[in-house]
Amino acid sequence: MAAEPEVSSDTALVLFSGGQDSTVCLAWALQRFARVETIGFDYGQRHAVEMTVRPLVREKIKGLRGVWADRLGDDHVVALDALAKISETALTRDMAIEIAAGGLPNTFVPGRNLVFLAFAGAVAYRRGAGHLVAGMCETDYSGYPDCRDETIKAMARALNLGMARDFAVHTPLMRVDKAGTFAMAEQIGGPALLDLVIEDTHTCYLGERGRRHDWGYGCGDCPACRLRADGFLRFRKTG
Ligand code: ZN
């Protein structure tokens, strides 16, 4: 394992969905900040199973290191039903996942990450957290424009202007592909964190947890499962 990074006395708020990426981001933050809180959004996603794995993943990650248990603070769950009401997508409706006109998959909820970051900023403001940590990634991001580095940087600037704060928005996975995310889990928390990511985090858009593959649970066929499966295969080949 690589040397531990220096620990800041600041508080970080992690956008934590219970998925592979945000779990690795949570571990990344636990390595670096004296206090780490989490925020999750319930927006009527079809893969609402995410919301049920969140507390479990939080408990298990605390069990990996005593110092992580000390640093992990409150969890905030924000209901955003309005997001489902205003968007007709395969993430929030019972419809087939496919590529829509314009080349984006119909799982795209327009501006979802902008909404999440605005709410996270408001909670961070109230909690005195100076750092936001989010798992957006532009390497294999299915083309979602709200995952782009430029989008996140613009949003960070808008938050700091609009809230008169100096938040740092960290996206540790921005240039990391799915194989790299598995490697990061192993590097940060050893085989125990890698196991937790495989066994307990949820990625599948359809909310399927019946079948256990070597990369974890999921339908194996939706775009999220395919990315995860392909990433794991490449991780195993190179790791
Ligand atoms: Zn799936």
CA neighbours within 13 Å on the CB side: how many for 21? 27
**What's the CA-to-centroid distance between 6 and ligand 1, angstroms?**
37
Residues 238 and 37: their CA atoms lie apart, in Å, by 33
**What's the CA-to-centroid distance between 116 and ligand 1, angstroms?**
23
Other Cβ atoms within 10 Å of 59 Cβ, number: 12
**What's the CA-to-centroid distance between 90 and ligand 1, angstroms?**
12
Residues 84 and 112: their CA atoms lie apart, in Å, by 10
Query: Averaged over 146-153, what is the pLDDT?
Result: 92
**What's the CA-to-centroid distance between 49 and ligand 1, angstroms?**
12
Report residue 98's pLDDT band, with 50, 70 and 90 as the boundaries. Answer: low
Report residue 110's pLDDT band, with 50, 70 and 90 as the boundaries. Answer: confident
**What's the CA-to-centroid distance between 228 and ligand 1, angstroms?**
9
**What's the CA-to-centroid distance between 190 and ligand 1, angstroms?**
26
Query: Averaged over 153-158, what is the pLDDT?
Result: 98
**What's the CA-to-centroid distance between 47 and ligand 1, angstroms?**
9
**What's the CA-to-centroid distance between 209 and ligand 1, angstroms?**
9
**What's the CA-to-centroid distance between 238 and ligand 1, angstroms?**
24
Query: Averaged over 8-17, what is the pLDDT?
Result: 97
Neighbours of ion ligand 1 (CB under 5 A): 204, 206, 218-219, 222, 225
**What's the CA-to-centroid distance between 191 and ligand 1, angstroms?**
24
**What's the CA-to-centroid distance between 206 and ligand 1, angstroms?**
5
Reported as a single tens digit per residue, the pLDDT across 219-237 is 999 888 999 999 999 999 9
**What's the CA-to-centroid distance between 227 and ligand 1, angstroms?**
10
The ranges assigned to domains in the chain are 8-203
DSSP type of residue 214: T
Three-state DSSP state, 12: strand
Tell me which of 31-35, 74-78, 102-106 is least confident.
Answer: 102-106
Q: Which fold has domain 8-203?
A: Rossmann fold (3.40.50)
